[in-house]
Amino acid sequence: MTEQTAPVLELRGLRKRFGDTEVLRGIDLVVHKHEVICVIGASGSGKSTLLKTVNLLEGIDDGQVLLQGDDVSDPRVDVDATRARIGVVFQQFNLFPHMRVLDNVTLASRRVHGVGRAEAEATARRLLERIGLADFADAYPDRLSGGQQQRVAIVRAIASDPELLLLDEVTSALDPQLVGEVLDLVTELKQQGSTILMTTHEMHFARGVADRIVFLHQGEVVEQGAPAAVLDTPQHPALREFLARVHA
Amino acid sequence: MTGPAGAGTPVVAPAPSQVERERQLYRRQRGRRSVVVSVVSTLVVVVAAYFGVVNTPGWAAVQQSFFDPQVAWASLPDILLGLWLNVRILFSASIGVAVFGTLLAVVRGLRSPVAFPLRMLATGYTDLFRGLPLIIVLYLVGFGLPGLGVFPRLAPEFWGTIAIVLTYSSYVAEVLRAGMEAVHPSQRLAARSLGLSHAQTLRLVVLPQAIRKVTPALMNDFVSMQKDVGLVSILGAVDAVRSAQIAQAEQTNFTPYLVAGLLFVLISLPLIRVTDAIARRQQRREQIGGAV
């Protein structure tokens, strides 16, 4: 498989155990360039674990993770270098409270990617400008609302142009009226061609933005496809039950 | 696990794939190599250090005056007897420090304006005793207080214990206070919202969490106190250090000091291991799973 045709991310037979429980039972998943994939499923279905294994924040017990065709689950591959190619946004934002917003955003560019301060800060300010938070560049994260913090966290993740963006329940910790501003930003990223693998509970949003929806059930992908197909004509009984509960 | 689709029913793990087997093999090989490298490099350093010391021009004389096995054996009974005094002082002092240190920390944490003088007093106390060298406190307490002429005649180890409690309480108070401040304010809110009083909140919610957070620091202070207990010898108490000093004078050989030193290390080892174990357990609890 050459670099040209390789998908951005390919998971092959991914398995993960915690003690005696197998949380991921052979996941196969392909994410192509510019695709937005929404992973849905009940809590405990392995969604978050799946995302963590992709950038090796969680070790795997079997299977392979291929990033642009490179087997990054090979122990010979430098994990830090792999993680530097992937942007991650967490449910709880995880901004560094002891750094200004600007320093949060420029940290990886300057310390990992070796970009000069002036250039990194110019990029960061431009990105903050775009999300309407330029005025907060010199503020500390605790001055920001949850929605603002999460948008900064997204900007931090994309500041060094990752090949893939992982979003883990990025709106779950937010007040309902703040969810929109974060989802709007994700939609904008899609329009700009980002490749995104995300978990979400926002079915309406998933329908609007996802190229494909993947339903995870007891550690397995039991159904996937175009949003309309998955959400409107679910085949698997577990998916039907899940959708019934979510819409209730 | 929650929800209808609670995942993770226990299953028999399938046989690992070819890729996984290769990875495991590679990890094992790399693990073995790291062990070999660390063992060899440790040996090299130890051997080099040993020969470096042994080949110094004065080694023979030093060996005779510091590492004489006969002197060591002869002085051991008296030093052990002295060590028993150190252990008893340590026991009493620990209780004193726990009580007094906690009191100081709580007083420093009081918020009400009424407590202002108390708070200032506690702050002044910790400032003073953290800055004052223990030896000077020992002299002041051990020779000064009896000199006032109001106390009955008391053994030097009693005054030594008091001096150690005074000094170490100020350290422990600061550690505890840092721990109490590290407990998130929402915990106080939650406790008070249940109707618990300020004192109950402190005792039942804040302090238990604070102590857990600062256990490694407290253990560190304890180990440090364990050896500083040896300083009561300067007041004339016949503890391990003093016994060693006597033996040294009799035999004109420094080996007894080495014996006393090793005994101090020996009694501190179990606690140091316990501290490590506690720290590890806490770390595990706070980082469940995760590779980083």
* Mean local confidence (pLDDT), B167-182: 94
pLDDT at A20 (0 to 100): 86
Q: How far is B37 from chain A (nearest CA, A)?
A: 18
pLDDT higher than threshold 60 for residue B164? yes
Q: How far is B21 from chain A (nearest CA, A)?
A: 9
For the record, the structure tokens of B15 come out as: 């046989």
* Mean local confidence (pLDDT), B270-277: 84
Q: Which of B3, B14, B291 sits opposite A58 (nearest CB)?
A: B291
CB pairs under 8 A between A and B: 83
pLDDT at A168 (0 to 100): 94
B23 contact A CB<8A: yes
Rounded Cα distance between B71 and B235, Å, is: 26
Give B283's pLDDT tier (boundaries 50, 70, 90): confident
**DSSP characters over A167-215:** EESTTTTS-HHHHHHHHHHHHHHHHTT--EEEE-S-HHHHHHH-SEEEE
Percent of chain B with pLDDT over 70: 93
Q: Which residue has the higher pLDDT, B288 or B72?
A: B72
Least confident of B46-50, B125-129, B288-292: B288-292
Taking CB atoms within 8 Å and a gap of at least 24, the contacts of B68-74 are B68/B253, B68/B255, B71/B247, B71/B251, B71/B253, B71/B255, B71/B256, B72/B255, B72/B256, B72/B258, B72/B259, B74/B247, B74/B251
Tens of pLDDT along B187-210? 999 998 888 988 899 999 999 999
Tens of pLDDT along B57-84? 999 899 888 998 998 999 999 999 999 9
CATH 3.40.50.300 fits A9-17+32-96+164-247, yes or no: yes
Longest dimension (CA), chain A: 55
Q: Which of A44, A62, A241 sits opposite B8 (nearest CB)?
A: A44
What is the pTM for the complete model shown? 0.77
Cross-chain Cβ contact B27/A74 below 8 Å = no
Q: Which of the residues A10, A43, A78 would you substitute to probe the B interface, choosing the one with the greatest number of B C-beta atoms within 10 Å?
A: A43
Tens of pLDDT along B20-54? 999 999 999 999 999 999 999 999 999 999 999 99
Phi-psi region of B8 (alpha: psi -120 to 50; beta: other; left: phi over 0): left
ipTM: 0.76
The separation between the first and the last C-alpha atoms of chain B, rounded to the nearest angstrom, is 24
pLDDT higher than threshold 60 for residue B1? no
pLDDT at B12 (0 to 100): 62
Q: Which residues of chain A have pLDDT under 50?
A: 1-3
Q: Which residue has the higher pLDDT, A216 or B13?
A: A216
For B6, name the nearest residue in chain A, comparing CA atoms only.
A44
pLDDT at B5 (0 to 100): 42
Tens of pLDDT along A38-82? 999 998 888 999 999 998 888 899 999 999 999 999 999 999 999
pLDDT higher than threshold 90 for residue B272? no
Cross-chain Cβ contact B5/A45 below 8 Å = yes
Rounded Cα distance between A37 and A224, Å, is: 10
Cross-chain Cβ contact A62/B7 below 8 Å = no
pLDDT at B286 (0 to 100): 65
For B19, name the nearest residue in chain A, comparing CA atoms only.
A63
Q: Classify residue B13 by its DSSP letter.
A: P
A241 contact B CB<8A: yes
Residue reference for tokens 């996941």: A27
Q: Which of A23, A57, A61 sits opposite B8 (nearest CB)?
A: A23
Give B185's pLDDT tier (boundaries 50, 70, 90): confident
C-beta of residue B108 within 8 angstroms of C-beta of residue B173: yes
pLDDT at B287 (0 to 100): 60
Rounded Cα distance between B245 and B240, Å, is: 9
* Mean local confidence (pLDDT), B269-276: 84
Q: Which of A57, A218, A242 sits opposite B7 (nearest CB)?
A: A218
Tens of pLDDT along B206-229? 999 998 889 888 988 998 999 899
Q: Classify residue A68 by its DSSP letter.
A: T
Residue ranges per domain, chain A? 9-17+32-96+164-247
pLDDT higher than threshold 90 for residue B278? no
Cross-chain Cβ contact B6/A44 below 8 Å = yes
